[in-house]
Structure 1
Amino acid sequence: MTFLVTGVRGRVGASVLRRLRAAAVDARGASGAPGAAGPVSGEAPVHLDLGVPETFAPALDGIRKVFLYARPDTAERFAREAVAAGVEHVVLFSSLAIDEDGAEHSPIARLHRGAEDALRASGLDWTFLRAGALASNALQWADPIRAGRGVRVAYPETYSEPVHEEDVAEVGVRALLDDAHRGEVLRITGPESLSARQQAELIAAAAGVGVPVERVARAEHRAVLTTVLPEPVADFLLDFQRERDGLPGTPLPDAERVLGRGAAPFAQWAREHAAAFR
């Protein structure tokens, strides 16, 4: 049985592929720009661009299970091609934004809901891996921390439950390998609710550097975000952070249930990535 892992240039996709191969599974990596991706586990990825449906059928030939990144505008076509190729099961890397209040107005939720709906309607077996905020989002602070500017955000007391990307990948692998998770929606968070300020403090302790935290005007923070994100996504993220300002959340149990152990705390992630902040 051969598996296909899309998005292997990303941290989660790359880890899923490594873990499958470590488990002696016949797994192929796929990327929209395989040359740019470089070799993954010693083998160049196959060409699969989720924005180019013509690449679907060749990449899916001989595949029975897929780890899929969400792309709603082509998800129905992908599902049809997967059915035609004999794919049995798709694990979709989705988002907990779907479960938030006001999800109908969230561009992130709409994106992932569109992909989920296409798979639900396809007849394929599926598992939806709805991940919360990734701990690796903190890498956006790496450049300013190294430059001595620290963390400058509109809502330093906003809370999230950051999840280690390796835990997300391991849950994805378990879902691919264990048929008991077919038809499940797995909601994955880290084990603790932390404010942005608390995350910055843990990074400072791990890296051994000063990380001042400064509250800035929303407009200033938005200007930074829109250099890398579409404006509607930046606005949604800032609105979400405002709603969680000073309000800790509740970590969800699915990661621990699937993994049989506690999810990695943010302090562990910070220690593992300390060099990025020095």
Structure 2
Amino acid sequence: MILVSGATGNVGHNVVTQLLEAGEKVRAIARNPERLSFPPEVEVLRADLTEPESLPAALAGVERAFLFPVPGATEGFLAQGKDLRQVVLLSSISVDDEEENSIGLMHLAHERALAASGLKWTFVRPGGFMTNDLAWVPGVKAGVVRAPFGAAAQASVDERDIAAVVAQALLDEAHAGQIYRLSGPESLTVAQRVRIIGDVLGQEVRFEEQDPAEARRQMVTYMPEPIVDTLLSTFEGLVGTTAPVLPDVERVTGRPPFTYASWVAHHAADFR
């Protein structure tokens, strides 16, 4: 039995689907399992990593687990899962940043907790998620996407590729002890991504540069200020650069990662 936490998320949902396609027995857990829609073969349970009393049932009979970490709850999960054969952790490429930042430090703490647990581990460190661009849906519908640092480049990665690497790591213990750094197949600026969205949807979508101070005022309404400041500082540092394209998606899965255009086509209904 494989446990998938955070199963309502973009990555977790795809991990469940891909493990099921591989013929594995899967248990999906979430705080709000009523939001889950899986085939009947998937065992769905309500569990919350911040509620230790919900974890024994979630972990019963489980051999391997995908951990979508929750701040302050990782150590408790690992203590209750001390008999697990392997844990695959969703981390972040920000752990590799030369300068310390709040996002990297948060994920590094989860990695260190898992490494210290004595369990076999695999760290999956994606860069920017393509799904972050779903925040542009209202702008796409209006025909104008406003964002700061339009010349900032990223090689953002499709959630299906992140899930594919996670699934492979869960299916083969040869991946234990490995750290996988994930990107998409191309370096694209914010403005280029907006143009691709319009091209794929067959509609006019214009990019408009947003003042970073205005963006910050909006972002702090739904994200902690240290995270917002780290993100904006990171984006500013990416202006005029070319993002590195990393090989681990293809190395692990045996196929190239999905392009940004293919991701947009996959989410066309969301944008429309």
| Residue ranges of structure 1 left out of the alignment (5+ in a row) | none
Question: Superposed, which structure 2 residues align to 1:156-171 within 5 Å?
Answer: 156-171=150-165
User: Shift of the alpha carbon at 1:39?
Assistant: 3.5
Match of 2:27 in 1: 28
User: Shift of the alpha carbon at 1:33?
Assistant: 2.0
1:133 is the counterpart of 2:132: no
What is the count of residue pairs matched by the alignment?
Answer: 271
1:92 is the counterpart of 2:89: yes
Distance 2:268 2:162 in 1: 20
- Is contact 2:26-2:43 (8 Å) kept? no
SS of the residue 1:21 aligns to: helix
User: Shift of the alpha carbon at 1:224?
Assistant: 2.2
Question: Superposed, which structure 2 residues align to 1:257-276 within 5 Å?
Answer: 257-276=251-270
Match of 1:48 in 2: 47
* TM norm structure 1: 0.94
Q: What is the RMSD computed on CA atoms of the aligned residues? A: 1.3
Question: Superposed, which structure 2 residues align to 1:226-265 within 5 Å?
Answer: 226-265=220-259
- Is contact 2:7-2:36 (8 Å) kept? no
Match of 2:61 in 1: 62
Match of 1:17 in 2: 16
SS of the residue 1:126 aligns to: strand
Question: Superposed, which structure 2 residues align to 1:175-190 within 5 Å?
Answer: 175-190=169-184
Match of 1:122 in 2: 117
1:145 is the counterpart of 2:145: no
| Residue ranges of structure 2 left out of the alignment (5+ in a row) | none
* TM norm structure 2: 0.96
Distance 1:205 1:155 in 2: 21
Consecutive aligned runs of 4 or more in structure 1 exceeding 6 Å deviation: none
Distance 1:154 1:18 in 2: 35
SS of the residue 1:45 aligns to: strand
SS of the residue 2:231 aligns to: helix
SS of the residue 1:67 aligns to: strand
Output the amino acid matched with 1:132. Answer: G
Output the amino acid matched with 1:238. Answer: L
Question: Superposed, which structure 2 residues align to 1:197-236 within 5 Å?
Answer: 197-236=191-230
- Is contact 1:65-1:90 (8 Å) kept? yes
User: Shift of the alpha carbon at 1:44?
Assistant: 6.1
- Is contact 2:90-2:124 (8 Å) kept? yes
1:77 is the counterpart of 2:76: yes
Deviates more, 1:139-148 or 1:165-174: 139-148
- Is contact 1:12-1:165 (8 Å) kept? yes
**Residues 153-187 of structure 1: CA deviation (Å, up to 9, x unaligned):** 12000011111110111111000001111000011
Output the amino acid matched with 2:225. Answer: E
User: Shift of the alpha carbon at 1:114?
Assistant: 1.2
Of all paired residues, the percent bearing the same amino acid is 37
Distance 2:258 2:33 in 1: 31
